[in-house]
């Protein structure tokens, strides 16, 4: 029996969940609540809310005398600042409570809700999660329905020829917060888009459980997220 704390901070969404043998027993996030504007999550400072979310999760398990076995964190790619905050929190908890540390590729986690909801996809379908980078650039990869890698994780500038070879051979399903801006560009008949696929900590559970059972853990002291690109600081427009 495994109990895992999950932390996801790779995008504007910030979320925490606790799983017990893959079943979610606690979850919290900063998705807009009913009646709130959809933009309420934009610009949220993960540094100011993640600690509260984690405290709520720890209080829940402590109050129910449920001991943790591991901490799982989204390991990138994604927001440089978001990943840094999430990984720092996960490493601190793992060190302080003597827990195992599990890292999960963010793009694989993004595939989980699609596989859970759309179990009728064609056998030869490919999944293409996309995280918004900048302008027409995304962080992306291609996976089979079994999450076997067809195209490795990479930054990509999207144009009308993107994924052309794969689209000629397979239906591809695009989703994630970077997919919307690609709809007007990728016009191939085999290209399909799913809207509203949130990247949340609760979807980390099945992937984290597999790694836990295989003893695939990170070095708490030396693990770093997969940023893909170096952080580039820019001046605010009103200061230029």
Is the pLDDT confidence value at 6 over 90? yes
How far, in Å, CA of 44 to CA of 9, rounded? Answer: 11
Mean pLDDT on 164-188: 97
| Whether 140 and 215 share a structural domain | no
Give the CA distances from residue 71 to residues 63, 80, 99, 206, in Å, rounded to whole numbers and listed in that order. Answer: 18, 20, 7, 13
Determine the pLDDT at residue 113: 97
| Structural domain count, the chain | 2
Same domain for 155 and 188, yes or no, is yes
pLDDT on residue 228? 85
Burial of 68 (0-12, 13-18, 19+ CB in 10 A): buried
Find, among 66, 17, 60, 14, the residue nearest to 207 by Cα. 17
Tokens of 27: 């979850």
* pTM of the entire predicted model: 0.91
| CA separation for the pair 3, 217 (Å, rounded) | 15
CATH number of the domain enclosing 77:
3.30.420.40
Q: For the sheet containing 23-29, what is the strand order?
A: 23-29, 15-20, 3-8, 70-74, 100-104
Alpha helices in 101-163 (DSSP H): 106-117
Shared domain check, 93 and 151 = no
Q: Cα-atom radius of gyration of the chain, to the nearest Å?
A: 18
Residue 221 lies in a domain: yes
d(CA 145, CA 111): 9
The yes-or-no verdict on residue 239 having pLDDT over 50 is: no
Do residues 184 and 209 share a domain? no
Residues 112-134: what's their mean pLDDT? 96
H or E stretch at 87: helix 80-97
């Amino acid at each position: 029996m495994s109990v895992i704390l999950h932390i996801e901070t790779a995008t504007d969404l910030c979320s925490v969940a606790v799983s017990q043998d893959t079943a979610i027993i606690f979850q919290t996030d900063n998705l807009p609540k009913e009646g709130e504007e959809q933009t309420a999550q934009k610009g949220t400072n993960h540094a100011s809310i993640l600690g509260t979310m984690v405290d709520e999760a720890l209080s829940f398990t402590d109050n129910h005398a449920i001991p943790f076995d591991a901490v799982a964190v989204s390991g990138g790619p994604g927001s440089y600042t978001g990943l840094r905050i999430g990984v720092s929190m996960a490493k601190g908890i793992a060190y302080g409570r003597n827990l195992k540390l599990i890292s999960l590729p963010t793009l694989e986690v993004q595939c989980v809700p699609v596989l859970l909801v759309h179990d009728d996809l064609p056998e030869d379908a490919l999944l293409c999660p996309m995280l918004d980078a900048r302008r027409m650039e995304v962080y992306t990869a291609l996976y089979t329905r079994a999450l076997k890698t067809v195209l490795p994780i990479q930054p990509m500038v999207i144009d009308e020829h993107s994924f052309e070879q794969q689209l000629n051979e397979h239906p591809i399903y695009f989703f994630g917060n970077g997919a919307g801006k690609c709809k007007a560009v990728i016009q191939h008949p085999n290209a399909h888009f799913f809207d509203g696929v949130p990247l949340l900590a609760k979807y980390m559970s099945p992937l984290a459980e597999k790694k836990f059972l295989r003893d695939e853990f990170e070095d708490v002291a030396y693990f770093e997220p997969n940023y893909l690109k170096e952080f580039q600081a820019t001046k605010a427009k009103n200061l230029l």
